[in-house]
Amino acid sequence: MAVKSYEFKAVVIGLVCIYAILMCIPAAFSDTEAASAKSNGDLTQMSLEDLMNTEVTLSRKSETVSQTAAAVYMITQEDIRRCGITSIPEALRLVPGIHVAHINANEWAISSRGFDDWSANKMLVLIDGRSVYTPLFAGVWWDVQDTMIEDIDHIEVIRGPGAALWGANAVNGIVNVVTKNSRDTEYGLITQVNGDEERNISSLRYGGKLGANGSFRVYAKSTNHNSFVTSTDHSADDPWDQSRAGFRMDTKTAAGDALTFQGDFYKGSESRGLGVYSLTAPLYSEVIDQTNVAGKNLMTRWERKSAQGASSAIQLYYDRTQRHDDLHAETRDTFDMDFQRHLAPMGKHDIIWGLGYRYSTDNTGTDSITIFNPSSRTDHLASAFVQDDITLKENRLRLTIGSKFEHNDYTGYEIQPNLRLLWTPKERHTAWMSIARAVRTPTRAEQDVQYTTNVMMGPVIQGIGRVPIQTILYGNPDFQDEYLTAYELGYRVQPSNRLSFDAATFYDVYDDLRVATIGSPTMSFTPIPHLVAPAILTNRSYGESYGGEISSNWRASDNWRLSAAYTWIRISTGLRELPGYTLISEGANLTTPRNLVQLRSYLDLPKSMELDTVLIYVDCVPLYDIPSYWRLDLRLGWGLHNNRELSLGGTNLLSTHHREFGAKMSEVPTEVERSLYLNLSQQF
């Protein structure tokens, strides 16, 4: 829904005023240091230089943001708190190059550098290194990726391929949600959020010491979310609620080894509108579908570091997810083991290598609209990687070469190499380039599925009369990998302690992309006479994309921080014709907004008050006829006595409601509403 003209003018006037004020601040480029980080070690009040020197765990070794040869972005706990964010998907709206869109109240379409879809299949998502990417449809169930939001230390995002270290499906990006070490949460915390959309979010956490060298925390959280609305301003009947609990323990042994043990448990229910097809009248009807979700995970990690700079780490986790509704069902058990060894530096060489194994088994049942054949499947994934950072010139030029080697049960062996070059011409200036190959492996939904995508009235057949045409999507056992070859260039500069810029450009070439191949209809007489139009997924598409992202952080004064980001992308795809068949592209160029703009302001006011603003522009999504829109979020916070904080905020303030993306499969599209909330937290 387009923003009204007076609202647009108000936004423009507001931006002009903001920049006029900024231009009048003479101290903007002074080298005065910003406030230092809080003593608990989180990223809440770091200077820009501290943020640039934050360690990136996605590098699998000690490497800072400023020295990473990739398009990396960090969301801090301060960003999460001051933007009033209450979920992981909403936090990703802050990242340049990431498009986040609500499908309905409990589902999101999230992607990096294009190919937006509810099942966006080219981005790997991790929580503390645990993969939450499902092999059922090659995406993420975002509704169940949650934790106590205050326990998140930061979120690392790398745009572009990361397959050389993290394997298949890290094609266009990687997200890693990093939670705090329990030694940083050795106190109690209660938070309560109430609003018209987020009706209730109640959280309780308690932490403390565990022996002489250990610490722990436990938490419990309950959420209840209201329904969105339809385009006609009626309830979309898609509310959802969830309850979860979890723990984390960290300790150091006498030998200096670090041990972590953590886990989560959750259960919830959701609703949404669902379109159901039938061979008898009415051919299409809408019902309210109820989804039940549950899950649990346990993870342990051991790490040892030597005085010579070497380190070893082993991580094990078990994850069970359960989901059941009319559209599909899945119970999945996953066991994963990951080992890595970082060798002590050997002259100019800095080598890290590792091994991995994953066991995943599922049961999809037989009573849902979406049928998988076989209904149960077990898959094995074995992998190894090696990477060498070669110092060509000390503190100036570094070459990185490495590759991931994998074997999966769908397509066999895969090799995913990368080559990266980092140049530091002088202090606070970094330029980098990369060439990488990444693979997106097939899924159950592409090889084993059977699903009715449409029923419509067809022609009159002599002796029978008019019959319906049923389009059925069939899995293709011969569906193969999708491939990406990516070329990237980037540059970072920090002109002063108060100002930083980060720019990245890319050119991506895709091959063997997914496309629906429609065959000629055939006659079927069961249960009634009708025509069946078979649709099979094949790898008969290709494409390319190019674009860039630029972001900036500016501490205009000791009490005012601003940031801005702009994303520009173009995607084109083509088809390899198949005689006798009709090919239907997924329209990646039509589901990706060409332009994204973001402006943020964090202003510290007198008397421990804060005023925070987030303004986002999203370009149109042509495939779903969604016009461009502006989104404005505001937050006013008070730091009260006795470790108590109160904040009042609003989201989507520029329109009563608007669509952000198209509906998933047969689901009914809904619209995001304007909302207000009150957040109270108390430490003890």
Q: What is the mean pLDDT of residues 660-665?
A: 84
Cα separation, 206 vs 183, in Å, equals 12
pLDDT at 43: 43
Q: Which of 146-160, 375-389, 540-554, 570-584 has the lowest mean pLDDT?
A: 570-584
Quote the distance between the C-alpha of residue 507 and its chain's center. Answer: 21
Domain limits at 498? 5-683
* Paired sense of beta strands 595-605 and 582-584, if any: unpaired
Going by C-alpha positions, the residue among 69, 38, 68 that lies closest to residue 55 is 68
- Listed in sequence order, the residues at least 6 apart from 13 whose beta carbon sits closer than 8 Å to its beta carbon are none
- Listed in sequence order, the residues at least 6 apart from 397 whose beta carbon sits closer than 8 Å to its beta carbon are 391, 421, 422, 423, 424
Residue-wise pLDDT for 556-586, tens only, equals 999 999 999 999 999 999 999 888 778 777 7
What is the maximum alpha-carbon separation in the chain? 88
pLDDT at 32: 36
Q: Is 671 helix (H, G, I), strand (E, B) or coil?
A: strand
pLDDT at 388: 97
Higher pLDDT, 12 or 421: 421
pLDDT at 53: 72
Give me the chain's average pLDDT, please: 91
Q: Is 208 helix (H, G, I), strand (E, B) or coil?
A: strand
- Token pair of 386 as six digits: 């090696």
Q: What is the mean pLDDT of residues 212-235?
A: 95
Going by C-alpha positions, the residue among 598, 595, 638 that lies closest to residue 616 is 598
pLDDT at 26 over 70: no
pLDDT at 44: 43
Query: Position of tokens 């989104």?
Result: 631
Residue pair 223/201 in contact by the 8 Å Cβ criterion: yes
- Report how many domains make up the chain: 1
- Kindly tell me the sign of the dihedral angle through the C-alpha atoms of 53, 56, 62, 64: negative
pLDDT at 137: 87
pLDDT at 668 over 90: no
Q: How confident is the model at residue 366 (pLDDT cuts 50, 70, 90)?
A: confident
pLDDT at 67 over 80: yes
Cα separation, 3 vs 615, in Å, equals 13
pLDDT at 588: 82
Cα separation, 203 vs 179, in Å, equals 16
Rounded to the nearest 5 degrees, what angle is found at the Cα of 644, between the Cα atoms of 642 and 648? 150
Q: Is 594 helix (H, G, I), strand (E, B) or coil?
A: coil
pLDDT at 30 over 80: no
Q: What is the mean pLDDT of residues 5-13?
A: 41
pLDDT at 231: 87
pLDDT at 98 over 80: yes
Residue pair 147/153 in contact by the 8 Å Cβ criterion: no
Q: Which of 1-10, 541-550, 594-603, 629-638 has the lowest mean pLDDT?
A: 1-10
Q: How confident is the model at residue 42 (pLDDT cuts 50, 70, 90)?
A: very low
Cα separation, 387 vs 402, in Å, equals 4
pLDDT at 254: 83
pLDDT at 580: 77
pLDDT at 59: 87
- Listed in sequence order, the residues at least 6 apart from 565 whose beta carbon sits closer than 8 Å to its beta carbon are 96, 549, 550, 551, 552, 596, 597, 598
Cα separation, 223 vs 194, in Å, equals 10
Residue-wise pLDDT for 434-446, tens only, equals 999 999 999 999 9
Residue-wise pLDDT for 282-320, tens only, equals 999 989 999 999 999 999 999 999 888 899 999 999 999
- Listed in sequence order, the residues at least 6 apart from 493 whose beta carbon sits closer than 8 Å to its beta carbon are 428, 429, 430, 500, 501
Cα separation, 621 vs 266, in Å, equals 34
pLDDT at 46: 62
* Paired sense of beta strands 311-324 and 672-673, if any: unpaired
Cα separation, 245 vs 335, in Å, equals 21
pLDDT at 36 over 60: no
The CATH number given to whatever domain includes residue 337 is 2.40.170.20
Phi and psi dihedrals of 166, rounded to 5? -115, -5
pLDDT at 18 over 80: no
**CA distance readout (Å), 537 to 253, 446, 479:** 52, 6, 7
Cα separation, 540 vs 48, in Å, equals 46
Share of the chain above pLDDT 70, in %: 93
**CA distance readout (Å), 194 to 106, 271, 331, 532:** 17, 20, 32, 50
pLDDT at 138: 83
Going by C-alpha positions, the residue among 244, 182, 178 that lies closest to residue 207 is 182
Cα separation, 256 vs 604, in Å, equals 41
**CA R_g for the chain:** 25
Q: How confident is the model at residue 587 (pLDDT cuts 50, 70, 90)?
A: confident
Residue pair 178/57 in contact by the 8 Å Cβ criterion: yes
Helices (H), 275-344: none
Query: Position of tokens 């800095």?
Result: 350
Cα separation, 554 vs 19, in Å, equals 12
Residue pair 44/604 in contact by the 8 Å Cβ criterion: no
pLDDT at 298: 99
pLDDT at 61 over 90: no
pLDDT at 50 over 80: no
